[in-house]
A = this chain, B = another copy of it.
Amino acid sequence: MTLGIDAVTEAARRVLPDDAVITDRARLRTYECDGLAHYRVTPALVVIPPDAASLAAVVRACHEHGVPFVARGSGTGLSGGALPHAEGVLVVTSQMREIREVRPDDQRAVVDPGVINLDVTRAATPGGYYYAPDPSSQQICSIGGNLAENSGGAHCLKYGFTTNHVLAAEFVSPQGDVVRLGTEAPDAPGYDLLGAVIGSEGTLGVVTEATLRLVRLPEEVRTILVGFESTDQAGAATSAIIAAGIVPAAIEMMDALAIEAAEAAVHCNYPDGAGAVLVIELDGPAVEVEAEYAEVERLCGEHGAFEQRLATDPADRALIWKGRKSAFAAVGRISPDYIVQDGVIPRTALPEVLTAIAEVSRSSGVRVANVFHAGDGNLHPLVLFDDSVEGAGDAAEEVSGAILDLCIQHGGSITGEHGVGMDKAKYMPRMYGEEDLDTMQLVRCAFDPGGIANPGKVFPTPRLCGEVPGRHQGPHPLQAAGLAEVF
C-alpha cells in the first residue's frame, strides 16, 4: 500500500499547489477525527483541491493505485462519516467555497461543496429567500457534508431534509469521472441517482457542485416557548397540534435534565420547574400564523401547559433558540462525558418510547437527557457518564444501544439525521434484512467496484464486491466471472 500512496501523492503534487498536499505527520494529525471525536485515525495523505478537476485527478489516481479516499467538508459530522483511512487520502473540500449563482426568480443557488450552510442563506436573504435545511452546526458545516449525510435540522418537520432541497449535482465517481446527476426540472427522466448519492456518506463518490432549492422567507415567524410538567404532556400537545393539521416550522422538546444543562450554560431563562418545554415555531403568511398561533396556544393549554411565552423580538427569539441549540454542548456542564444518540420513532409512539427510555435509565442508573425534534419523532437522547469511573463508559454505550433498539422495535430508525458513518454500521443488520443490505451493496459495487470510497463506513461487514451472492442460481454473475479475484 505504501507504493500506492506514494504514487497518489506524486499525482496530487502534479495537479495541486504545494500547500494543498499535506504529508507532514503533525499536520496530518489535525485531521484525525470529525465531530465524533472518540474515533481517531491519522490519514496517510491530506489533499485540499481548489476545484473539481484537480479533485477528480486525485480520485483517479486513487482508483489507478487502489488507494482508499475519504471526503471531508468541515468535519462537523457526528457519526464518524469523515473519519480518515490510515492508508488512504483525506480529500478536504474546504477550499472549494464559491457561491456560483444565486437566482431568486428561479429559487435556485449553485454552490461549491465547501460553502458553509449558513452562507447560502446569507447570500439569498437580500433577494427574499433562504436555504431551509439548518443543522445545529449550520454556522460551520459545509453543503458537501450536508449532502453526504442528508442533514436535517430543527425545521425538517415542515421543510424536509437536504434531499428535498437539492436539484442537481456535479459528482466525481470513484473512478474519477465527473458526471452530472439530476436536473433542475421536476421529475428528471432516468434513474434518480442524485437521491441515492445524497445520504450515501461518501461511499459512492464526492459531490463537487450542488444546485440548491431556495425557499422564500416567510412573511411572519412566531416562536413560542411552552412549559409543561412532564414530557408526557408535552408529547400529547405535540400530537394534538399535528393532528389539528398544523405543520409548525419546528416543534422541539427538551426534558428536565436537558433544561437544567442549558440553563446552567446559557441562562436561557426557560420556565421554572418545567418537566419539559416545547419550542414551537410557526412561519408563513401573517394571517395564517395568527390563526395557527391561536390554535397552538389553545391546544397546549388543554394539554397542561403552565406557561406559554411568545418571543417578543428577535433577541428574545434568539435566546429561546440558544437554549435549544446549545443543549448538546451544555450537557458538558452537568456531566464530564456524554454520548449524543440519534434515533427516530413514529411520532405516535413518543409517550411509550419516552417511558421506556426512562425505565432503561432508572434500571441502569445511567442518566439520560432528552432533546429532540418532537414533531418528526427524531430523538437526541444524551447519555451521561463519567469516563473516570470504571465501567461507566460501557454502561453508557449499553444504554445508548438499548435506546436504538427501542427505536427499531417501534418501527423507527437508527439515525434521524446524523448518519450511520463509522459509529452505527454495526446496527444496520438490526434495521435491514440481509437481502436488503445486499441490494444496497449491489449499488455500491456498481459505483465503486474497488471499494475505495470511504470504506468501512455505513455497511457492517465490508464484503468484496464479488461476494454479493446471486441467491437463486449459484454464484452471482460477477463471481462466476471470477471478478472477486480482479480486486
Contacts and interface: CB of A to CB of B under 8 A. Distances in A.
A346 interface: yes
A178 to B, nearest CB: 8
Nearest to A484: B481
A183 interface: yes
Given A179-B433, A184-B411, A419 B481 contact: no
B183 A192 contact: no
A482 B479 CA distance: 11
Contact of A440 (B64, B191, B345): B191
A443 B193 contact: yes
B473 A64 contact: yes
A413 B189 contact: yes
A477 B483 contact: yes
Contacts of A126: none
Contacts of A432: 180, 190
Number of copies: 2
Which residue of A181, A184, A185 has the most chain B CB atoms within 10 A of its CB atom?
A185
Contacts of A114: none
A187 B481 CA distance: 36
A329 interface: no
Given A189-B424, A432-B190, A444-B191, A472 B184 contact: no
Interface string A401-443: 0000000000111111101100010001001110111111011
Given A446-B446, A478-B481, A186 B416 contact: yes
Q: State which size class the interface on A falls in.
A: 35 or more
A177 interface: yes
Contacts of A435: 177-179
Given A436-B181, A477-B486, A483-B481, A458 B64 contact: no
Given A433-B180, A447-B442, A187 B199 contact: yes
A179 B413 contact: no
B190 A163 contact: no
Interface in A442-487: 442-447, 449-450, 458-459, 470-473, 477-478, 480-483, 486-487
Given A175-B470, A471-B175, A481-B482, A189 B439 contact: no
Given A173-B439, A191-B443, A477-B449, A344 B186 contact: yes
23 contacts: A106-B347, A164-B164, A175-B472, A177-B471, A177-B472, A179-B439, A183-B411, A185-B345, A185-B416, A186-B376, A186-B413, A187-B417, A190-B428, A190-B437, A190-B458, A192-B196, A192-B199, A196-B443, A287-B287, A446-B446, A481-B482, A481-B486, A482-B482
* Nearest 6 A/B pairs, CB to CB: A195-B195, A185-B413, A446-B446, A288-B288, A481-B481, A287-B291
